[in-house]
Amino acid sequence: MPHRIGVAKVLSALGYHALVIDYRGFGDSTGEPTEPGLTTDALHLYNWVKQRSVDSLVCIWGHSLGTGVTTNTAVKLLEEGKQFDGIILEGGFSNVRFITNGLIEHPFSWFYWKFPYIQFFLFNPMKNNKLVFPTDENLEKIRTPIMILHAEDDHLVPFSVAQENYRIARNAQNSDKRVKLVSFDGKLGYLHNGLYRDPALPDIIR
């Protein structure tokens, strides 16, 4: 996943500590990816970091499906009287709906798309594991500063989704200062995974 490593390198070069975890059932993590499970894992990571960060800011960066995990976690923290110091949503969905005509297009099947038909063998057992990740609904509740990053040529999530997420978040917080939408020209060819290559990204993050 060069884009994951790319973002981590950008953050590290800026002097920030970056922790990146594998979803359950992927990489070195065991188990099966479920919406409650992924949210629990993110909460655990936040608490682990917060105990060790003293007074440093703790922000969360969610990419693609990870934006759903991010906003779910932010809402759970609010329910506990806590919140992130900042949220970055890159290439974010509004929500995930994935059962149509009896065929499964599970959000985690992206990793296997290059192998013909393999998602049907791997993910049919997960038909009842419906993922929602209601980012649009979560944004109505979140009061944390938010920055939305999105390429205008994103081939998986249309730029119009980013505009709608921005509209919801801006209206919820009634602020153009606490909610920002940063777009990247489609001519740059970043698509869904390439924003880390933009030379302006470090200054945008700062």
Residue 131, pLDDT score: 75
Residue 2, pLDDT score: 86
pTM of the model: 0.86
Active site residues: 64, 154, 192
- Residue 98, pLDDT above cutoff 80: no
- Among 122, 121, 169, 126, smallest CA distance to 144 is for 169
Q: What is the pLDDT of residues 108-166, one digit of tens each?
A: 555 444 444 444 444 444 445 667 889 999 999 999 999 999 999 998 889 999 999 99
**Beta-ladder partners of 86:** 59
Mean pLDDT across the chain, nearest whole number? 86
Confidence of residue 102 (pLDDT cuts 50, 70, 90): very low
Distance CA 183, CA 163 (A): 9
Confidence of residue 7 (pLDDT cuts 50, 70, 90): very high
Residue 25, pLDDT score: 81
Residue 28, pLDDT score: 87
**From 36-40, 87-91, 167-171, 193-197, the region with the lowest mean pLDDT:** 36-40
Helix H segments across the chain? 2-13, 35-53, 66-79, 118-123, 135-139, 159-173, 201-205
